[in-house]
Structure 1
Amino acid sequence: MRGMLCFVDADWPLFGGSFVIDGVDVLSPKKAAEQLLAPGLLDQPTVDSIHRSLALAFLVA
């Protein structure tokens, strides 16, 4: 796990604009989606198990 701050209506530069401060990514929604959808170290069954656990722990608002 890692920290990420995503600012939706921020005035981001056309190129770049994202940065890391104290190990926390600060980025636009598009950059956040790229990172979240990128292949990672976990296999799909593990991802599914984590998803189920989080869905049970954090009910929809």
Structure 2
Amino acid sequence: MKEQQPAANEPEAKYSKEQFLRSRKFLGGRDILDALMDSEKLYTEKQAKQILDGYNKRTVK
């Protein structure tokens, strides 16, 4: 199945931190999102993926 892309003039849907934490799609990254997301902000799926990617690509000193 192909993911549906929002139309160019439609804004992406935004979700709360709690919605991402309950999501099956982000099951493996729940702890990271819980630590790094702000409870007061809304995020798109793209932003949530960027948070996870940024965390996973960081280097340990």
- Give the TM-score range, shorter chain: under 0.3
Larger relative contact order (CA 8 Å, sep ≥ 6): 2
* Structure of greater Rg: 1
The structure richer in helix per residue is 2
